[in-house]
Structure 1
C-alpha cells in the first residue's frame, strides 16, 4: 500500500493527474482495464514506447552526472538494470540468457541484428537459430565471412557479415 491508499484506488487517483499522451493512453482503454493500475501503467508506457529495450539503452549509456556521488550513480544503474531485466520476474538463467542475447546481437552485422530483432527472439539460442536461417537462405550467393570491425584498434576483433551488406571495412 502506497500512501496508505489501497492498490485498488491507485488508477482512480492517478487519472486526474494525466495529460497529453498519458491521458490519451488512458482514454482509449477498455472501461474495466482503466480501473486496473497495472494496466493503466502498461498502456502509458506503451504509448511513450518505453519498454525493456529503452531501459537497456539507458543502462548501457549511463554516464556520471556532474557532482554525482558514486552511490547515486550506483542507484541509477541499479534502477535502470531492474527496469531492463526485471529480476523479480525472472530466474538467474533467464537473466543470463538476456545478457548473452544482447552480447550475441552486438557481435553481428547491423542488418543481421535488425533482421533478428524483428523476429523477437527471447534467447540467444533462438537468435543463433535465426542467424543460421538467415545465412542458409543466402549461402549460395553470399558466403558467410568474418570481417574486422571498422576502425577497431584491436585487429583481433571481428564481426560477422555478408560481403554485400557491409560497407568498406578498414584493412590493416
Structure 2
C-alpha cells in the first residue's frame, strides 16, 4: 500500500474513532445531567449522605454521581488508565485545574514514585503529571514503534484482536491526531531509511 493511502486510512480511522468516542461521552453527559436534574427535584433529606466537594458528588444538587475509580495496578495499561480518567473527569465536569490532585490517590508503584519526585508546582499540572508517569513507565512513541514492528500473529488470537493491537501500537507511535500528514510520512520514511543503513550509519 502506498504511503499516502496508509496516511489517509489512518486519518479516516482516527476520525471515525473520535466521533464514536464523542458520541459515547455525549450520551454519558446527558445521562448525568438527567440524574442531576432528577436529584435536584428530590427533597434535600434524601441526599444527606453525600459529601460536597468530593469526586463523584455534584455540589449544586448534593447528589452522588455513579463514578467508581480504581488504582493503577501493575498489570494495567497506563495510557488506557489515563484516558479512562480523563473521560470520567470530563463526564463528571471536574475542573481541569484539579485533575492532577484528583488523579494522585489512584497512582501506585512507579507511577506514584514519578508523582512524588515532581516539584509541588508541576504536581498541580495534570499534563505534566501524565508526562512524568508515562516516562517513568517507559511508555514512549519509540516503545510503541517497537511494539508495532515486532507484532506477530498468534493463531490462538482472533484476527480482529490482532488488527486492533497492531493499529493501537501504530496510532500511539505515529500520533496522527497531533501531526500533519507530512510529519507522519516523514516518520515512516525516516524509520525505513534507518533500517536500510548499515550498522555504522545507523549509529
Normalising by structure 1, report the TM-score. Answer: 0.60
Deviates most, 79-88 or 32-41:
32-41
Give the corresponding residue for 1:27. Answer: 116
1:62 to 1:37, Cα distance in 2 relative to 1, 3 A: same
Give the corresponding residue for 2:179. Answer: 90
Aligned-residue CA RMSD in angstroms? Answer: 1.8
Give the corresponding residue for 2:87. Answer: 2
The answer to whether structure 1 residue 46 and structure 2 residue 131 are counterparts is no
Higher strand share: 1
5+ long unaligned stretches in structure 1: 115-172
**1:66 CA drift (Å):** 4.9
Normalising by structure 2, report the TM-score. Answer: 0.51
5+ long unaligned stretches in structure 2: 1-85
The answer to whether structure 1 residue 14 and structure 2 residue 103 are counterparts is yes
Higher helix share: 2
- 4+ aligned runs moved over 3 Å, structure 1: 7-10
1:105 to 1:14, Cα distance in 2 relative to 1, 3 A: same
* Separation of aligned partners in 2, 1:98 and 1:81: 11
Equivalent position to 1:77, from 166, 171, 185: 166
**1:47 CA drift (Å):** 1.6
* Separation of aligned partners in 1, 2:98 and 2:165: 29
